[in-house]
Amino acid sequence: MSAFGKSLSTVIVATTLVAWTAVSVVSAQGPWVAPADAKAAKNPVKGVGNAKKTVETNCVSCHGASGKGDGPAAAALPPPKPANWTSDAVQKQGDGEIFWKISNGRGAMPPWKHLPENERWEIVNYIRTLKGK
Ligand code: HEC
């Protein structure tokens, strides 16, 4: 690659990083609400399957072993902190809304679209089992 090409790609990478940071900072402001069509989605899956295991692998570092948002990585994160799944704030939401948030993520919460759809619904069902715990 020419010197010009190299510095151009450095500029592109730097610009992309700045833009991405700005987007993630802006998107982490204010209440997090799923779009109406996502909220209306019906949960097609019954049971939790292997969700406990999937959650242990992917989520407890932030959300904690009992889902209270107190995982080892949570302390180091700036607000908004990982959600407490046992709380009313999460449990009052519909399955479709929780599913959409798991799929899309926001700020420090990663998107989990790469997990198969039925597994994401099983995670929603698993989160339901933690209600009020
Ligand atoms: C790197 C840390 C991290 C990991 C790993 C993580 N989360 Fe989160 N999660 C967060 C943060 C931070 C928030 C709050 C985001 C916000 O409000 O903007 C959040 C929010 C949520 C919410 C939204 C609750 C609400 O406020 O409505 C759900 C549901 C959730 N996470 C599920 C999961 C699931 C399921 C996994 C694993 C598959 C997971 N998270 C993995 C950090 C994480």
Distance CA(58)–CA(77), nearest Å, equals 16
Is residue 109 classed as helix, strand or coil in its secondary structure? strand
Ligand 1 neighbourhood includes 123 CB (under 6 angstroms): yes
Distance CA(116)–CA(103), nearest Å, equals 10
Ligand 1 neighbourhood includes 60 CB (under 6 angstroms): no
Instruction: Pick from 63, 66, 92, 128 the residue to mutate for probing ligand 1's pocket: most ligand atoms within 8 Å of its CB.
Output: 63
Distance CA(60)–CA(62), nearest Å, equals 5
Fold of 32-129: Cytochrome Bc1 Complex; Chain D, domain 2 (1.10.760)
The reported pTM is 0.84
Write down the pLDDT at residue 6: 65
Mean pLDDT, range 88-92, rounded to an integer: 97
Ligand 1 neighbourhood includes 59 CB (under 6 angstroms): yes
Write down the pLDDT at residue 133: 85
Q: What is the pLDDT of residues 99-130, one digit of tens each?
A: 999 999 999 999 999 999 999 999 999 999 99
